[in-house]
Amino acid sequence: MLWSRKRRQVPAQPVAGEVIAAAPLPMALDAGLFQHHFERLLASVRQDAGGIEAYLAALNAKSHRIDSALAPNAPPGLAEIEGLLAGVFTARRRLYPTLEALGAQRVGTLVHELVYGNAVMARRLQNFVDAMPGTAGMSRAEIKAAAKLRRAAWDFAAELLHFRDPRRFPLMTRWVWDAGTQSGALRELIRGSDTLREIPFDNSPELFEGARRWLAERIAERGIYRDEPLWIDLLLAQAYTTYFRSMAEGGLGADFGRGVTPQEQLKKLLGIDAAPAGRTRVKKAAMSTG
């Protein structure tokens, strides 16, 4: 049953003026690789009606939807959370059954605390992930499924934080960078990364912000001063989809849509792909643990 619109009021206590300090990158990103992906991005989006402006408009609309759904004076209901989840490609096929099982009130509170809680952003994000079911006493298959669930929860939380306030918080999804798997778009911006066994990047907000500041400088050098955070999102998505298309297999599997165009993959990764007519993009049934 969906939570009533007359929800319990929860006072908002955000960390006032929270700003993520940019950490120095322990390994340099490469301006030549940036230029390569930037040119490929422009060439790719030109093939769609509206070009780059259509992509920026779609990302701005996504940001507006998230900001509108996450009111400071009350937690969102389950229907609102489902709508938000539909725009997070790496989470929308895995997370909803668990959120539904946790209950509308619990999930609404978790999302509200993620966005407006007292703790610093990194702690709020981790608290959201830690609220997902653990692995104690589970079979090997269940442990694997629980790990995938937590990764999906991380991506969902990271997108809510970023797209609600794109200028304040960097995008910290696993496809941008995942220290555990040593993969992500940032790897595609490091010269010679295919020969490196390990890249000394962690998953701290400060690392993501350091990379974003570097990317913002490269964007500004090209005379772009509007929607810079969304241009950065597009550039990162371009780098990751280029990598994915070069691999026979990938961590996102068939869900990413092998055989579709680069433009479709770019939109899907950013959660701005068109929903099927009359259908939700959110998977409601729990996925198999096998």
pLDDT single digits (tens) 50-59: 999 999 999 9
Q: Is the pLDDT assigned to residue 3 strictly greater than 50?
A: no
Question: Backbone phi, then psi, for 102, in 5-degree steps?
Answer: -70, -25
Taking only the tens place, the pLDDT of each residue in 154-173 is 999 999 999 999 999 999 99
Question: Backbone phi, then psi, for 183, in 5-degree steps?
Answer: -140, 165
**What is the spatial distance between Cα 163 and Cα 64, in angstroms, rounded to a whole number?**
8
Residue 7 or 141, more confident: 141
Crossing angle (nearest 10°) for helices 31-45 and 262-270: 110
* R_g of the chain, CA atoms, integer Å: 19
- Which amino acid belongs to residue 9? Q
Q: Model-level pTM greater than 0.85?
A: yes
**What is the spatial distance between Cα 20 and Cα 50, in angstroms, rounded to a whole number?**
34
Q: State the virtual CA torsion across 110, 57, 254, 251 in degrees, nearest 10.
A: -60
Q: Which range has highest mean pLDDT (7-21, 128-142, 161-175, 263-277)?
A: 161-175
Tally Cβ neighbours within 10 Å of residue 103.
13
Query: In whole numbers, what is the pLDDT of the chain averaged over residues?
Result: 88
Sign of CA dihedral 52, 57, 58, 64: positive
Nearest to 86 by CA among 281, 267, 290: 281
CB 120 within 8 A of CB 145: no
Where b means 16+ CB within 10 Å and e means fewer, 267-284 reads bbbbbbbeeeeeeebbbe
SS3 66: helix
CB 184 within 8 A of CB 2: no
